[in-house]
């Protein structure tokens, strides 16, 4: 069970604090219990107490790191079952499965998925290299996958093949997914020597649990649990039970991230795979392996992930600047909106649909929607004109036609005073009306 504030308070030194001179306080202990401050912030705590408290106050799900350098990823570290309770910590990672027969076809498609959305780079995070029986071909496939610049998952139960593959890529910290009740000892040795995360599977949940305990007994807690590929129903049930056991029941033997292999569960049905990937993004796949991925499936899937794995208390914001739409140049009409990501994507989509070149100016409005930011004083004539000056908007565009949202038409007069030389145009109340408005505008 997790320590409570009183438990932590009892282990803290009963001397005056070096920082403030006051007796050690319960407030500090409560903050440690809530996870808002690290226990090592106390300068007087003993090494023994620190070790005891660090283990007890750590998240019930272990936090792991895979990959190296610029391709490092965090897994685990979760503290809640539902995003709205607090926040999710480590986003789900998406992998595409390859083998010797399909890697040449799939690698170019994997590299094609690479774009930015609200400041986050969206790529196929991992490549799952599957061993199908031929060691030489498997190693050749590993080398080809290594060249794609992605972190690898080595899906292999053959110890010799696993060791040979790690000799090639262990410096890049891949995941070795292959341990089960029959081979855990040798795979534990291979993974520990290479310093990589070990994937653990089994015929059922009880078997997986027992194997994890054996690995923990051998001193290895650098683990990730494969939820299985018997059926979609079993995989989903296992993923949920593992997460609930760790977070609700505080059972640390199940306190590890999970792998969901949709490639084995579904096959080549891309639409079904994408639908299930969205389900396991919510519940609770740390790594989700797919057979294929295209832009048609990546865009909605990554959009969902970005919405789920952001702090619900902090709205997603666009970078305040000019966004040229439909090939807009300095002479094109300008429009201003807020930096709330949802508002941006809605209005951007409608402007693109119109086919009319527009310079969409995103103003710093605290990440709020149009009416909310206006009511809070963050989207006003003063804030807009201030942003225009700070961002040198007038130096970047020649047009002096500025379209404002119809719901803040009240700003028209004030903006004409704050932005002399600009013609302030009031747009429609709803984004859907922008298409007709732009097509009818004569400038």
Concatenating the DSSP letter of every residue in 77-109 gives ----SSGGGS---S--EEEEEE-TTTHHHHHHH
Choose the weakest-confidence range: 44-53, 74-83, 130-139, 150-159: 44-53
Concatenating the DSSP letter of every residue in 362-390 gives E---TT--HHHHHHTTSSSHHHHHHHHHH
Residue 21's pLDDT band (boundaries 50, 70, 90)? very low
First to last CA, the chain: 68
Averaged pLDDT, 191-207: 95
Strand ranges of the sheet holding 401-404, from the earlier edge strand across to the other edge: 322-325, 358-362, 333-337, 401-404, 423-426
Give 234-248 pLDDT, tens digit per residue. Answer: 999 999 999 999 999
How confident is the model at residue 314, as a pLDDT? 73
Please state, in angstroms and as integers, the Cα–Cα distance from residue 307 to each residue in 141, 222, 240, 286, following that order.
Answer: 34, 28, 20, 16
Averaged pLDDT, 144-167: 95
Of 52, 23, 29, the C-alpha closest to 41 is 29
Averaged pLDDT, 171-200: 96
Torsions phi, psi of 128, nearest 5?
-95, 110
Residue 375's pLDDT band (boundaries 50, 70, 90)? very high
* Residue 34 CB neighbours (<10 A): 10
How confident is the model at residue 23, as a pLDDT? 45
How confident is the model at residue 1, as a pLDDT? 43
Domains 63-308 and 322-440 share a fold: no
What is the spatial distance between Cα 240 and Cα 260, in angstroms, rounded to a whole number?
12
- The CATH number of domain 322-440 is 3.40.50.11600: yes
Concatenating the DSSP letter of every residue in 29-73 gives HHHHHHTSS-GGG-TT--HHHHHHHHHHHS-SS-EEEES-GGG-E
167 neighbors 143 (Cβ within 8 angstroms): no
The DSSP letter of residue 167 is H
At residue 44, does pLDDT exceed 70? Answer: no
Give 256-265 pLDDT, tens digit per residue. Answer: 999 999 999 9
Architecture, CATH, for domain 63-308: Alpha-Beta Barrel (3.20)
* Residue 309: both structure tokens together: 């794995």
Give 390-409 pLDDT, tens digit per residue. Answer: 999 999 999 999 999 999 99
pTM of the model: 0.77
* Residue 129: both structure tokens together: 């290299």
Contacts of 389 (CB under 8 A, 6+ apart): none
Give 335-359 pLDDT, tens digit per residue. Answer: 999 999 889 989 999 999 999 999 9
How confident is the model at residue 20, as a pLDDT? 45
165 neighbors 196 (Cβ within 8 angstroms): no
User: What residues does each domain of the chain span?
Assistant: 5-57, 63-308, 322-440
Give 80-105 pLDDT, tens digit per residue. Answer: 999 888 889 899 999 999 999 999 99
Give 222-233 pLDDT, tens digit per residue. Answer: 999 999 988 999
């Amino acid at each position: 069970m997790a320590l409570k504030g009183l438990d932590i308070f009892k282990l803290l030194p009963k001397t005056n604090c070096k920082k403030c001179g006051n007796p050690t306080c319960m407030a500090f202990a409560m903050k440690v219990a809530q996870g808002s401050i690290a226990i090592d912030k106390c300068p007087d705590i003993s090494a023994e107490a620190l070790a005891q408290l660090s283990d007890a106050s750590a998240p019930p799900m272990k936090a792991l790191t895979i990959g190296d350098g610029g391709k490092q990823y965090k897994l685990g570290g979760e503290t809640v079952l539902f995003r709205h309770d607090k926040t999710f910590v480590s986003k789900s990672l998406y992998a595409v499965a390859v083998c010797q027969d399909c890697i040449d076809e799939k690698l170019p498609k994997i590299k094609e998925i690479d774009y930015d959305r609200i400041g986050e780079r969206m790529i196929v995070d991992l490549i799952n290299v599957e061993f199908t029986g031929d060691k030489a071909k498997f190693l050749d496939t590993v080398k080809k996958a290594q060249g794609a610049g992605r972190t690898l998952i080595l899906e292999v139960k053959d110890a010799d093949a696993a060791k040979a593959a790690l000799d090639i890529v262990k410096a890049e910290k891949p995941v070795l997914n292959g341990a089960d009740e029959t081979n855990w000892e040798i795979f534990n040795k291979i993974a520990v020597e290479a310093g990589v995360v070990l994937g653990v599977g089994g015929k059922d949940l009880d078997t997986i649990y027992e194997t994890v305990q054996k690995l923990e007994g051998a001193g290895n807690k650098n683990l990730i649990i494969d939820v299985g590929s018997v059926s979609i129903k079993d995989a989903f049930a296992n993923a949920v039970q593992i997460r609930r056991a760790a977070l609700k029941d505080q059972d640390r033997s199940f306190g590890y991230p999970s792998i969901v292999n949709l490639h084995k569960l579904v096959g080549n049905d891309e639409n079904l795979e994408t639908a299930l990937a969205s389900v396991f993004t919510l519940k609770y796949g740390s790594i989700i392996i797919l057979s294929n991925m295209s832009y048609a499936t990546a865009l909605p899937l990554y959009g969902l992930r970005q919405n789920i794995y952001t702090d619900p208390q902090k709205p997603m914001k666009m970078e305040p600047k000019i966004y040229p739409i439909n090939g807009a140049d300095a002479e094109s009409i300008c429009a201003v909106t807020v930096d709330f990501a949802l508002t941006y994507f809605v209005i951007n989509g409608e402007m693109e649909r119109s086919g009319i070149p527009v310079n969409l100016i995103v103003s710093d409005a605290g990440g709020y929607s149009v009416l909310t930011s206006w009511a809070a004083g963050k989207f006003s004539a003063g804030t807009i004109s201030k942003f225009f000056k700070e961002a040198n908007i007038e130096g970047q565009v020649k047009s002096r036609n500025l379209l404002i949202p119809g719901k803040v038409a009240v700003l028209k007069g004030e903006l004409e005073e704050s932005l002399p030389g600009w013609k302030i145009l009031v747009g429609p109340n709803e984004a859907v009306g922008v298409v007709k408005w732009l097509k009818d505008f004569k400038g």
